[in-house]
Structure formats: structure tokens, C-alpha cells
Structure 1
Amino acid sequence: MEEGQLQKMVRQVEIKSDGDVFHEIFKSRPHHLSEMSPACVQNFEHLDGEWGTVGSIVLLNYNHDGKDKVVKRETIAIDEEKKLVAFKVIGGDLTELYKTFIVTIQVNSHGESNLVTWTLEYEKLEEDVEDPHTLMDFFITMTKDIEDHQLKST
């Protein structure tokens, strides 16, 4: 893949917990992630804008591949009907590897079944930068942690 080209990675995971609640967490209550998935997310700091609105900026401390990392991200899209939230990385460790990094989370509910779709869109700074497969694994692990937390709470 050529440098300067936006690449896309998509993974889906089925959850048994409430899809509306899952969407709400990423839209308006991301500060609860450190409680729901403490192995993945350690700290959350709200920097600017209102929770649950486009333009909201947060700083997240997380652990990826056994290393403590930080990401500053801005909410760039919210679609209530599609249960979709998108974030753009605007600072932190990922900006050392990627010129552009956008994370989209969408929940599709069909009765009792909820399908969470994670989409990563990214542009590498250098050709030899690896695709973010382990970061996608991180998001899937976090999804399962949230599901487990929700199922225990009900």
C-alpha cells in the first residue's frame, strides 16, 4: 500500500449486552471505560466540549501491547439512528506512526443480537509502519470487557 493513502480495517464482534447502552458509553460516558475495562483503559480526562457532542476532546491513558500509551482524540461524528460514533486522533502516541487515524464504532441491533463494528481508517507516516492489527485486537478485548461488565450489572 502506498504512503499517503487512507487504509481501512474492519472487525465485527457480537455482544449479548444492550446495544443502546454500548453506544451510549462511547457517545456520552467514555469516562466509564476505565471502570469497565481497567486492563485496557487506565485514565480519562475531558479536555474540551460537551460529553456526547461532536467536537468533544478527551485524553486517554491506555495500555497497548504491554506499554502505557496516551491518545488525544476528538469526536468527529455521532449518528443516533445508526448508533455510530467516530473519533479522530489528534495527539499522542499514534501520531508518531500515522498521519491520520480515525476510529468508528457502530452498533447494529437485531432483537437480542447486537453486532459491534469497529472501523479503523489510517494513513501511515512511513511505508514500514505496521498495520494496526494489535490495536484492533485491543478494541475487541475492550468490547468484551464492556459486555462482561454490563452483563454482571444487570
Structure 2
Amino acid sequence: MTLNGKLESEMEINMPTAKFYNIWKNETHHVSTATPDRIQAVDVHEEGNAEVFKEKLEFDDETKSVSLVGLEGDVMKVYKVFKPTYQCIPKGEGGCLLKMTLEYERPSEDIPPPVKYKSFMVELAKDVEAHHLKA
């Protein structure tokens, strides 16, 4: 028996939709610069607590969404499916609403939902925003 789930959160960021989306689409190598405490390298893929996460990036230009589809790494040893997605929705002057979704599949009820990774997504977005505001 497998257990599918989805965790969601939203936050407003003081950053244009196009800029946040572009960092992931065209400047992924800058993510580790924006958030060095959480991502030590983007060879594509280091994660905060010395965990490795290798992903394939998928982009939807129409909805300004970027998904990080898990391929291998520490999180994939626990979950069968792991797919964090950021969607940037324009809001007001130079800001956007960032919708974060984490789709996952657990192999059994003994495995908890990946709540810590949802928090990681939020903190990562805050770091990218702070880096943008410094520039």
C-alpha cells in the first residue's frame, strides 16, 4: 500500500514573478549563492543538513512554475515520489504570491509526511528573496 500526499503553503515575496522564476530557469547556479546555509552547491543539488537531493527541473512558462522532480538522494531513500513545486503569481507592484506544493508518496504509514521539507521550501524562498533585495 502506498500513501500519496500533498503539502501546500503560500507566502508573499517582495520580488517580481519573472525574477524568481528566472533564477530557477536560467540562473540555477545562483541558488546556492542566495541560500548558502541550505544549499551548498548546485551541481544541481545539495540540501541543508548535508543531504543530497538530485532532481530534474521541469518548467511551465505559462504558469511560471518550477518543479524539482526527485531522482535520487537521501530523500528518495524514504519517499517513492518527491516533487516540490514553486509557482509565482504576480501580485501588486514588483511582488508575487509564491505558492509552494510538495507532492510525495510514502511507502507505508510508518513514514511521516515530509513536513520538514515543506519548511525547507519556505526558508529557501525567503533566502532567495533576501538575496534579491540585497542586489
Same fold? TM cut 0.5: yes
Structure 2: gaps of 5 or more residues? none
User: Are 1:80 and 2:61 counterparts?
Assistant: yes
Aligned residues: 134
Structure that is richer in strand per residue: 1
Matched residue SS, 1:42: coil
In the TM superposition, structure 1's runs of 4+ consecutive aligned residues that sit over 2 Å from their partners are: none
Q: Tell me the equivalent position of 1:106.
A: 87
1:132 to 114, 118, 121: 114
RMSD of aligned residue pairs (Cα, Å): 1.3
Query: Which residues of 2 match residues 4-15 of structure 1 at below 5 A?
Result: 4-15=2-13
Percent identity for Structure 1 against Structure 2: 32
Higher relative contact order (CA closer than 8 Å, sequence separation 6+): 2
Aligned residue identity for 1:84:
S
Q: State whether residues 3 and 108 of structure 2, in contact with CA within 8 Å, keep that contact through their aligned partners in structure 1.
A: no
- TM-score normalised by L of structure 2: 0.92
- TM-score normalised by L of structure 1: 0.82
Matched residue SS, 1:6: strand
Structure 1: gaps of 5 or more residues? 46-57
1:3-55, Cα deviation, whole Å (9 max, x unpaired): 4132111111110122211011112222111100011100111xxxxxxxxxx
Q: State whether residues 71 and 89 of structure 1, in contact with CA within 8 Å, keep that contact through their aligned partners in structure 2.
A: yes
